[in-house]
């Protein structure tokens, strides 16, 4: 039996299936259900593990589950009660589903209900806040009421708004049992102007202004397009300005230190890009700027990197250095195109392996016949307009 680490959404679903929160649903891939599991390489059964490799459950060919242990990682794990535990500990309370920071108006609506249990639906993609920030904001709201507790429920979004709404209502009702459920009248009304100070501070920390957000500047283009030169020039400007931590993840440097031993096969090139993406996402998670300049020829892999960055709370800024192949080959400073034409380099991007041009990059730059300063200005204008960096007019 293979071991498989599910996606974040699937891990959330697994926890709710095992805990009974999805009852009467008890398995993956029931007909018509959004609670699905995709196993790799055509497998029909597997041992499901967490990101650290801890076995959580075995899934059979029919989607049924054999629990092995409960999830043991993640902030606020103590608040992840099963429905049975929540009903036992909070019998007689009013259960209130929460998917966003609560405003003064929300709290005023809840005063007078007696004992309240906030059910923080903090699964992947359900809230505009990060899961940790949603729980922190909900705990802060509980502190502002006389009698309130918080239960963290990792209900994820599945991309079907109607089905997700119905599933969420079912889960909250399962937690409440015979006790009342109170849905806030309008949980978004006036929130931006009406957040209690303690909650507003959590939201501001979780959703910084664009110029304070972790940022991944991802330059993609053919070998010889000028992407590395543009990336280095931009990094120099960032270092000259100061105020942000900046890390370069240049393709050749990464190959020597992070991806030594990988070949230039399609599979290994994708692995190399995913490694760059993972490191860049971690830099963005902590508010830094990562400047990446691999060829990254495949759209699917670039999208995977973007997903990693955004899941870490960072912004992904894709620069397509769209210098034509003819110009890149004319430059050929390393002699790579000549070797590729001679068959000495297999699977060379642009010659014997495709380059999939980005459909909607943040900015597209052609360096043909232009100075680096002139081409870089296209990038600086786009960054300035997006609000991420304001480097135009920097001396030198």
Tens digit of each residue's pLDDT (9 = 90 or more) over 158-209: 999 999 999 999 999 999 999 999 998 765 554 556 899 999 999 999 999 9
pTM strictly above 0.85: no
Tens digit of each residue's pLDDT (9 = 90 or more) over 143-158: 999 889 999 999 999 9
Q: What topology is assigned to 210-386 in CATH?
A: Rossmann fold (3.40.50)
138-141: long-range contacts (C-beta < 8 A, 24 or more apart)?
Answer: 138/98, 138/102, 140/196, 140/198, 140/199, 140/202, 141/98, 141/101, 141/102, 141/106, 141/107, 141/196, 141/199
Pick out the residues of the known binding site for ATP.
Answer: 221-228
Contact 17, 27 (CB under 8 A): yes
Q: How far is CA 183 from CA 53, 155, 251, in A?
A: 38, 16, 51
What is the pLDDT at residue 264?
A: 74
Closest by alpha carbon to 231, among 242, 246, 214, 241?
A: 246
Q: Give the whole-angstrom CA distance, residue 135 versus residue 299.
A: 35
Q: Give the whole-angstrom CA distance, residue 249 versus residue 252.
A: 9
CATH 3.40.50.300 in the chain, residue ranges: 210-386
Supply the mean pLDDT for the chain. Answer: 92
Residues 6+ apart with CB under 8 A from 394: 237, 240, 241
> Which tokens go with 239?
């270092």
Q: For 236, phi and psi rounded to 5 degrees?
A: -60, -45
Measured from the Cβ of residue 349, the count of other Cβ atoms closer than 10 Å reads 23
Pick out the residues of the known binding site.
Answer: 221-228
Task: Please give the average per-residue pLDDT across 275-293, as a whole number.
Answer: 95
Closest by alpha carbon to 277, among 297, 301, 298?
A: 301
């Amino acid at each position: 039996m293979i071991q498989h680490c599910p996606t974040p959404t699937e891990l959330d679903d697994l926890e709710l299936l095992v805990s009974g929160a999805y009852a009467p649903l008890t398995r993956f891939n029931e007909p018509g259900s959004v609670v699905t599991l995709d196993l790799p390489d055509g497998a029909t059964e597997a041992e499901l593990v967490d990101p650290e490799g801890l076995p959580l459950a075995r899934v059979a060919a029919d989607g049924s589950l054999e629990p092995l242990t409960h999830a043991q990682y993640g902030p606020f794990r103590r608040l992840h009660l099963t429905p049975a535990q929540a009903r036992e500990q909070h019998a007689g309370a009013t259960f209130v589903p929460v998917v966003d920071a609560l405003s003064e108006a929300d709290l005023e609506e809840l005063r007078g209900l007696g004992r309240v249990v906030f059910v923080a639906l903090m699964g992947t993609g359900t809230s505009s806040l990060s899961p940790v920030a949603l729980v922190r904001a909900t705990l802060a709201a509980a502190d502002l009421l006389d009698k309130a507790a918080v239960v963290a429920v990792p209900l994820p979004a599945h991309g079907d708004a109607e089905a997700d709404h119905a599933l969420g209502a079912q889960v909250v009702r399962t937690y409440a049992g015979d006790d009342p459920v109170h849905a806030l009248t309008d949980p978004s009304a006036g929130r931006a102007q009406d957040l209690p100070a303690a909650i507003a501070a959590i939201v501001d920390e979780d959703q910084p202004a664009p110029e304070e957000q972790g940022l991944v500047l991802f330059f993609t283009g053919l070998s010889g397009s000028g992407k590395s030169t543009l990336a280095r020039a931009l990094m120099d400007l960032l270092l000259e300005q100061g105020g942000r931590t900046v890390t370069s993840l240049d393709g050749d440097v990464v190959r020597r230190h992070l991806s030594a031993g990988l070949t230039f096969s399609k599979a290994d090139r994708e692995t190399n890009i995913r490694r760059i993406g993972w490191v860049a996402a971690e830099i963005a998670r902590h508010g830094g700027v990562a400047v990446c300049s691999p060829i990254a020829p495949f759209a699917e892999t670039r999208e995977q990197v973007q997903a990693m960055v955004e899941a870490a709370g960072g912004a992904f800024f894709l620069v397509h250095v769209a210098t034509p192949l003819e110009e890149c080959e004319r430059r050929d400073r390393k002699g790579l195109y000549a070797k590729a034409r001679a068959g000495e380099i297999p699977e060379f991007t642009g010659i014997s392996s495709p380059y999939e041009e980005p459909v909607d990059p943040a900015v597209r730059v052609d360096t043909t016949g232009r100075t680096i300063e002139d081409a870089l200005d296209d990038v600086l204008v786009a960054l300035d307009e997006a609000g991420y960096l304001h480097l135009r007019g920097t001396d030198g």
